[in-house]
Structure 1
Amino acid sequence: MKKHLLAGLLAAIFASGAQAFDPFTIKDIRVEGIQRTEAGTVFSYLPVKVGDTMTNEKASQVIKSLFATGFFKDVRVEVEGDVLVLALEERPAIYTIDFVGLKEFDKDQLKKALKDNGIAEGRIFDRATLEKAEQELKRQYLSRGKYGVAITTTITPLERNRVNINFNIEEGQAASIKQINIVGNTAFKEKDLLDLFQLRTPNWISWYTKSDQYSRQKLAADLETLRSYYLNRGYLEFNIESTQVSISPDKKDIYITVSIVEGERYSVSSIKLAGDLLLPEAELRKAVKVKPGEVFSREKLNESTKEISERLGAQGYAFANVNAAPEIDKDNRQVAFTIFVDPGKRVYVRRINVVGNTKTRDEVIRQEMRQIEGGWYDADKVTASKQRIDKTNYFGEVNVETPPVHGTTDQVDVNVSVTEKNTGNISLGAGFSQSEGVILSGSVSQANLFGSGKFASLSLNTGKINRVASFSYTNPYF
């Protein structure tokens, strides 16, 4: 019997038009070499089936398709008469994952992070994926200031085509911030600016706050705090030119240098309102917090545009755009603002959706809603609805969202998402009295009886002189 071997390298031969075998009709497909993978799984990835005409081009497609699954380390296509034979060598499976020297992280938490990166017990082992997981593991340590961490990975082959992965970790000491410098400040003292930062040099409480451990996220937050500090005090052109973070050769000390340009201090010369105001200008001006003659403050300007948006939202204009455009007079160090108002279309509520209430009935939540279906959207009523649902004390968390209805420009849905909490209470007590002997007492109460929003309680006292049995029922909506 003549057998033709078509290895993965023949793809180049196929591309050049060379013939490795004559085309034939496939009468059967046989799979060899698999231990864990089902034959049906292999067949589902094949671009050919019994009855198809097998050609060199299709053989190349078979090889590529099976390699693309990631299940196999080697794929060979062989022909025995009219039978297509697939000789496969599976990649090993991960049997166990072990850690040595792990102290900084919880083992289960770390395994979950590795699983998210494609490395988990029972999965197919892939060295490229393992290298990515190692980098992610190292990144986690760097985020904790462990810049001297060393990770050595050992792969141990086991029987039945399995492997054990062992991470040997030398965590080392966390690097601490040795020095933080701010360069370019003249209006404020460096000490006062550094007091705004979360990141600090070591102090007596650093062991608890970890404020001396560098974090890119913390530094970004500190820089934004610094920017806001200047912009809220009139420095309209403030800019952070550069930020340099360096580490000592022994990877124990970190030095941070922030270079800034303060610019000039500006005052507000005028505030104008423009666009389709809808509401009386005098009413909208009450929402403007920044006044002519005052030092510019980004915080007050943002509060002004936000409050104007909220006032329009209370009238049904849920998608109003309110933006402030500056006109800078550098010679006089003044800035004039024009607040442009675009209310958009008036919006009404199509539907109120309630999710997350597995025990509490829908009507208990809906009767707390101040916003009604089919009515004009009112931001104040939506906020009041959320507050009222919170006050029932039936839920640990309440979220309200108002997404626009797809395909329309004047409708929104109100989506109420709740997380229920336990509302029942049981108490037991025991005592002794010379006159009454042993006294037992107990009570059971449920603030959300059968999810109806009604309160019920039962209490008993077994004293000989004062024997009490009481039942109470409250309907708060009666």
Structure 2
Amino acid sequence: MTIKRLVAAMLLAGLSNSVLAEQSFTVQDIQVEGLQRVALGAALNNLPFNIGDTVTEATLSRSIKTLYAAGHFDDIQVYRDGNTVIYRLKERPTINKIEFDGNKDIKEEQLTESLTGQKIVVGEPLDKTIIKEVENGLTEFYHGVGKYNATVKMNVTYLPRNRVNLKIEFEEGDAASVRQINIVGNEVFSDQELLNNIESMYDLPWWRFLSSDRYQKQTLQGDFEKIRSYYLDRGYLRFNIDANQVSVSTNKESVYVTLNVTEGEKYTITGVDFVGDLIGQDDFIKALVPLKAGQLYNGALVTYTEESIAKLLARFGYANSKVRTIPTINDDTKEVALTISVDPGKRVYVRRINVAGNVTTKDEVMRREMRQMEGAWLSNDALELSKERIQRLPYIEKVDFETTPVAGVDDGVDVKYTVKEQPAGSFNAGIAYGDFQGLSFQIGVEQQNFFGTGNSAGINLSTNRYNKQVSLSVTDPYFTLDGVSLGGQVFYSDTDYTSLSSNLEAYKQKRYGFGASIGYPINEYNRLNFGTNYAVNEINSLTEVDQYRHFRAVLLDKADPDGGFKFTNYELIASWVQSTLNRGLFPTAGHEMVLTGRVTTPNSDLQYYKTTFEARKYIPLSNDHRWSFLSKLELGYGNGYGDKDGYDYTLPFTDNFYAGGQNLRGFEARIIGPHAIYRVVNSVPGLPNIGGSSSGLPTDPSLDSYYVSTRSMGGNAMAVATLELITPTPFVSDEYINQIRTSLFVDAGNVWDTEFDMDRYIGLSRYATSTYSPQLLDYSDPSLIRATAGVSLQWISPMGPLTFSLAKIIKKYDGDDQENFSFNIGTTF
């Protein structure tokens, strides 16, 4: 009885003095102490009760857990004073700064991203309980890349006002090298045959210092899968990796890898069957399957089959399909029957398509290129084609897209296209003075995304001592909603080549006119364009170049033989364009072919035609397209049709082809091609006239002489080819890889004149001139190939595309002037 009374007394004392009484009571007041950064209201909102509520010890305990869960406090104590509940809180310190020291293998951006995922962010409270977790996680990363001596320490420096600085110190140490990789259990294939297929290198000799035998856990795991695939692709269906061991040396500088395998035997496929819903495409899906009865099991073909069927289903809107191959294995006969299970799932529809990242370009410009429509089913092909078409625009640098499921709907997604724009035009303006050109003024704007509309427009005005020109052009690529384009141009130029220090033969020319064009899309990759031009040409001060004789003959005004030449042409133009390029500027994959024909109508003063063909193909050499190969071909031919007064029409010299400069780098611009030939008529003294002087009489034409000009007059045929290796640009960050391009190139080609008659000059003597005169070549010979090699740098600058080339001539002929370094504006390849 005495013991019971003593226990009862102790319980009563405990109940009267306990911080947290077991019996319930009504809360009359709540007090919170220790708050600095956290607002009182925010703290009270985390409590599971309010003033006036009846609480128990369990309620108060639950309130402590709730406050901890809010993540603002390091220490929480709760007291009761009568019916008042008192919370004494110690806030977590706020992170003032985060520093990294000694990290080389992990970039600061990666570290910051990782810490953010663990809620260690400047301005946020620090949870000291996860410091050790962060240290262990980073240490484990270093172990995964072979740095077993690495240590990571997070130091916390306390500052006034409950703030802290965090400094994470790294001692990375050296990576362990893979010294040996052993494979145990293999009999069919040798160790070396298997190891030739893996990425990890081991026990490298000193002279292979450019290679690395550094141990990396992820790389090694990938190598195990490559060995597994090597067996599965050759019929060894029961192949298995039983175990793998990675042993580290005592000094933690070497790693030894052992792989235990069971090879099994080869299995033959007895047949392929299908189960599930083939969405009515049974014949087409079955035709996709490369697996046949009687052939060895092939893991790569099985994977290819599953991916091909999934891609086909995605074309019809079944974006979440599940395709898997179920093998039925007969170990006695070493045969396997394959059953392909196809579950298309629900057809997925696109609710909304959003466009982001376009600052200049209007949304509608991108949307008219899209082949994935809102409200239609989701098609991977349509998504990718839309991306390609948008990225093919010359003012778009990069395009990415993502699909997001619509909340609460299992068959709907939103699509977001994110674009990155780039300069799509050029601007030039200036005033200059020079001894040769005098005072010059020029201003010009070429814009392929005029005011963000996707229309191209250009205006150029320039004037100097030898040239005055103005032109205006505009093209709307979507004049109609189905992609019919409409364009027009007006032009005028007045040029005096007699004072121009260029590679062209001298003459004066005025040219003015206007034109219009219209284009029709055939399909996603082909387009037809048609146009017409009205052009008036006036040529004066034409020198006595022998190759101009046909041109003179058909235009000569017998009433004014010393006058100039004026002719009006009505031109019809047609072109075919096929393009599968992945980008508008600096493509890395795909091809483009352009065939253009231009002909003057029979009622024109000159009757001729001109055709050009240009093809270029890009082959990516690496998965990231940083390396790619370009092959390019330019062909051209033109000539006259019909005759006048017994003289055949020919291609006018003003429309001749030229090479050198941009299309045959290493040579001066427009220098490649037939040079002008002057025929000098010899004479004998004539009889004296009344004044006492005498005039010469021409001798027989076979006694004439000739000399060749240093200036080119071009030809009516051209062929130029380019081979180019596009390489990563050194010292350029990934941010600018789509704006700067470096390449190694080889250019080769020739310009010739199919109407040139070498027999006219055989037997004639060469006229002696006081200046340099090139040797006469057979300008009708297409085999006079020139070749150069060099390096090129192209930059899409804010002022337009700039190209720098440094080239060395491999093959040249007399009269070909070289230009080792060249700089051009407005051209990219």
SS in 2 for 1:137: helix
2:350–2:415: 8 Å Cα contact kept in structure 1?
A: no
Out of 363-372 and 182-191, give the one that drifted further: 363-372
User: For 1:176 and 1:62, how far apart are their aligned partners in 2?
Assistant: 54
User: For 2:180 and 2:101, how far apart are their aligned partners in 1?
Assistant: 34
1:14–1:57: 8 Å Cα contact kept in structure 2?
A: no
Change (3 A) 1:403 1:344: same
Alignment of 1:55-454 (within 5 A): 58-78=59-79, 84-107=85-108, 109-201=110-202, 203=204, 211-272=212-273, 283-311=284-312, 322-339=323-340, 347=347, 349=349, 351=351, 353-356=353-356, 358-359=358-359, 360-372=361-373, 380-393=381-394, 394=396, 396-399=398-401, 401=403, 407=409, 413=413, 415-428=415-428, 433-437=434-438, 439=440, 443-454=444-455
> 1:185 deviation in Å?
1.9
User: For 1:49 and 1:278, how far apart are their aligned partners in 2?
Assistant: 60
> 1:239 deviation in Å?
1.2
User: For 1:414 and 1:73, how far apart are their aligned partners in 2?
Assistant: 43
User: For 1:473 and 1:267, how far apart are their aligned partners in 2?
Assistant: 65
> 1:55 deviation in Å?
5.9
> 1:434 deviation in Å?
2.5
> 1:311 deviation in Å?
4.8
SS in 2 for 1:335: strand
User: For 2:156 and 2:412, how far apart are their aligned partners in 1?
Assistant: 55
Change (3 A) 1:406 1:303: farther
Out of 397-406 and 463-472, give the one that drifted further: 397-406
1:267–1:293: 8 Å Cα contact kept in structure 2?
A: yes
> Which residue of structure 1 aligns with residue 774 of structure 2?
none
Change (3 A) 1:264 1:109: closer
Offset from partner CA, 1:248-285 (integer Å, 9 cap, x none): 11111011111111111223343445666676866544
Change (3 A) 1:190 1:457: farther
> 1:90 deviation in Å?
3.2
Change (3 A) 1:84 1:263: closer
Change (3 A) 1:145 1:47: same
Letter in 2 for 1:420: K
> Which residue of structure 2 aligns with residue 5 of structure 1?
none
Which of the two has higher C-alpha Rg? 2
Out of 126-135 and 323-332, give the one that drifted further: 323-332
More helix by share: 1
2:353–2:374: 8 Å Cα contact kept in structure 1?
A: no
> 1:323 deviation in Å?
4.3
Offset from partner CA, 1:336-395 (integer Å, 9 cap, x none): 3344556677x4846452332544444333333445556676665555444333333525
Out of 316-325 and 245-254, give the one that drifted further: 316-325
User: For 2:268 and 2:345, how far apart are their aligned partners in 1?
Assistant: 32
Change (3 A) 1:115 1:321: closer
> 1:130 deviation in Å?
1.2
1:117–1:132: 8 Å Cα contact kept in structure 2?
A: no
Offset from partner CA, 1:277-323 (integer Å, 9 cap, x none): 67686654432212333332122233334444555655666666554
2:429–2:444: 8 Å Cα contact kept in structure 1?
A: no
User: For 2:250 and 2:418, how far apart are their aligned partners in 1?
Assistant: 52
Offset from partner CA, 1:25-71 (integer Å, 9 cap, x none): 52x54433333333333333233444445765554454444344443
> 1:247 deviation in Å?
0.7
Change (3 A) 1:445 1:60: same
Letter in 1 for 2:401: N
> Which residue of structure 1 aligns with residue 796 of structure 2?
none
Change (3 A) 1:206 1:103: farther
Gaps of 5+ in 2: 1-14, 479-484, 486-829
> Which residue of structure 1 aligns with residue 661 of structure 2?
none
Change (3 A) 1:57 1:208: same
Aligned residue pairs, count: 461
SS in 1 for 2:251: coil
Change (3 A) 1:108 1:384: closer
Change (3 A) 1:335 1:53: closer
User: For 1:138 and 1:80, how far apart are their aligned partners in 2?
Assistant: 49
User: For 2:208 and 2:145, how far apart are their aligned partners in 1?
Assistant: 14
Change (3 A) 1:104 1:80: same
2:326–2:339: 8 Å Cα contact kept in structure 1?
A: yes
> Which residue of structure 2 aligns with residue 6 of structure 1?
none
> Which residue of structure 2 aligns with residue 3 of structure 1?
none
SS in 1 for 2:197: coil
User: For 2:321 and 2:54, how far apart are their aligned partners in 1?
Assistant: 64
User: For 1:278 and 1:153, how far apart are their aligned partners in 2?
Assistant: 58
1:312–1:343: 8 Å Cα contact kept in structure 2?
A: yes
User: For 1:447 and 1:286, how far apart are their aligned partners in 2?
Assistant: 45
User: For 1:310 and 1:390, how far apart are their aligned partners in 2?
Assistant: 22
Out of 352-361 and 374-383, give the one that drifted further: 374-383
Change (3 A) 1:52 1:340: closer
SS in 2 for 1:124: coil
SS in 1 for 2:149: coil
User: For 1:140 and 1:324, how far apart are their aligned partners in 2?
Assistant: 36
Letter in 2 for 1:461: S
User: For 1:96 and 1:344, how far apart are their aligned partners in 2?
Assistant: 50
SS in 2 for 1:236: coil
Gaps of 5+ in 1: 1-9
